[in-house]
Amino acid sequence: MVLHPILQDLVKTPFFRYFKVKLWCDCPFWPDDGMCYLRDCTVCECPESEFPEPFKKSSRLFSADDVICQEGKPQAAVDRTLDDTIFKGWIQIDNPWTYDDETDDAAMTYVNLQLNPERYTGYAGPSAQRIWTAVYKENCPQYPSEEWCNEKKVMYKLISGLHSSISVHIASEYLLDSSANLWGQNVQMLYDRVWKHPDRVRNLYFIFLLVLRAVTKAADYLEQAEYNTGNHVEDLKTQSLVRQLLYNNKLLSACRVPFDEVNIWQGQNGPDLLQQIQNQFRNISAIMNCVGCEKCRLWGKLQVNGLATALKVLFFVDGKNNLQLQRNEVIALFNLLNRLSQSVKFVHDMGPLMEKMERHDSSPT
Ligand code: FAD
């Protein structure tokens, strides 16, 4: 896959490897029940000296009131006509699709994602199960599936696709022998948790295409954005990789449309439904605070944030204002795309072996 190597290089750049996250947080739904005691669960946070200098300076601070105050004011109109660029600097504004207050810098910490890879941690059992159950329940109240409107089906597929992707990462980097610290692939796990359920594989492709489509839609914005970390050479490389990804990649323009986002949320109940789904998504983001394994929480939060950003881009309907993204949202968006691309590649590469296991499974004993 042409896309994958570019993404792999991109997420290693200084701009994309630092993610701002609130790791120490109370679960708003139930008492913390499941800290995972494996060494692999802990996240190693960056000392402040490590993360890029421009990240420390606060971005332009916007509040929701600022945005509303500008509306209709003559000076705002002048601003808009004079300014023909789309990207206007990184902003710091609370994302309505997520639960954490992203403007509360004091509660946030920077994590070097390259030092904290998402892989098997041993987090399992009732605590992990409770999270998944809560996530599915939040989004998909118990409607019989025929009654689901299109929008609800979309949300279910996204969550299930993300769940598949996490399972694929666990299976692709599994602790095979703890005494020898031997890591490798657990193909049986890939088969049992993902391949055996064709809908889970389909949902993985679905979320991958949706995020790809969001990146394509925001291409002009993402091209103009500043990827500044103070390291000129690295930053030029980042900019070049982003361009390669956005424009030189035939896959992006050829990418199949997973659904028509223009016509979704447009029915009679469209705006209400969008609001309802935004609230549900915010609750899913809150549930991530209850994940009882620090590293799973980190990647859960990043990927939910990335998905929230993709949805924000795809369903951005405010004709009066331009799309505005936070630096952290773009970091989450590209890291999520990379994780999904990795999952799709792994499932694709393992296809022949999985088919063999399937034949073996269905052959009479
Ligand atoms: P689970 O994966 O816990 O699934 C629970 C139930 O959901 C299944 O029994 C099945 O009925 C249903 N289900 C499973 N997959 C799908 C799907 N794709 N679509 C629809 N339904 C499905 N563990 C790690 O080792 N490393 C991690 O980085 C990690 N990150 C995590 C992040 C989050 C946010 C959460 C909630 C958990 C994470 N875990 C991680 C734990 C991991 O996801 C599993 O919960 C754990 O491995 C136990 O798996 P399980 O077989 O019991 O089934």
69-102 pLDDT, tens digit per residue, is 333 333 333 222 323 457 778 877 777 788 877 6
Q: Report ipTM for this prediction.
A: 0.99
What is the signed CA dihedral for 80, 81, 82, 83, rounded to 10 degrees?
A: 50
- 66 lies in a domain? no
Q: Using CA atoms, how far apart are residues 208 and 158, in angstroms rounded to an integer?
A: 9
Does residue 181 belong to any structural domain of this protein? yes
Q: Is 183 helix (H, G, I), strand (E, B) or coil?
A: strand
Distance CA 64, CA 67 (A): 5
Task: Determine if residue 160 is labeled as part of a ligand binding site.
Answer: yes
Q: What is the pLDDT of residue 263?
A: 61
Q: Which residues of the chain have pLDDT under 50?
A: 37, 60-84, 142-144
Helices (H), 173-231: 187-190, 198-217, 219-224
290 is catalytic: no
Q: Residue length, the chain? A: 365
Look at residue 61 and tell me if it is in a domain: no
DSSP for 327-356, written as a single string: HHHHHHHHHHHHHHHHHHHHHHHHHHHHHH
How far apart are the C-alpha atoms of 321 and 337, rounded to whole Å? 26
CB of 51 closer than 8 Å to CB of 110: yes
> Is 63 labeled as ligand-binding?
no
Domain count, the chain: 1
pLDDT at res. 147: 56
Tell me, yes or no, whether 65 lies in a domain.
Answer: no
Assess if residue 365 is contained within a domain: no
Mean pLDDT of the chain: 80
Known binder of ligand: residue 90?
A: no
Q: What is the pLDDT of residue 315?
A: 77
User: What pLDDT sits at residue 80?
Assistant: 29
Distance CA 269, CA 286 (A): 25
- Domain that residue 313 falls in: 2-54+73-360
Closest CA to 311 of 202, 162, 111: 162
Q: Is the pTM of this model over 0.90?
A: no
Query: Which pLDDT does position 79 carry in this prediction?
Result: 29
Separation of alpha carbons 151 and 95, rounded Å: 21
Per the CB < 8 A criterion, the answer to whether 337 and 252 are in contact is no
Structural domain contains residue 265: yes
> To test the ligand 1 pocket, which listed residue (166, 200, 343) has its Cβ within 8 A of the most ligand atoms?
166
Whether ligand 1 lies within 6 angstroms of the CB of 127 is answered as no
Residue 161 lies inside a defined structural domain of this protein: yes
Using only the alpha carbons of the chain, give its radius of gyration: 21
Give the Å distance between the CA of 304 and the centre of ligand 1: 15
Q: How far is the CA of 43 from the centre of ligand 1 (A)?
A: 19
Phi then psi for residue 320, to 5 deg, are -80, -35
| Residues 6+ away with beta carbon under 8 Å from 325 | 90, 91, 218, 221, 225, 309, 312, 313
Instruction: Tell me if residue 69 is catalytic.
Output: no
pLDDT for res 2: 81
Helix (H) or strand (E) holding 233, with range, is helix 232-247
Give the pLDDT score at 69.
33
Between the CA of 339 and the centroid of ligand 1 the distance, in Å, is 16
Instruction: Indicate left, alpha or beta for 24 from its phi (over 0: left) and psi (-120 to 50: alpha).
Output: beta
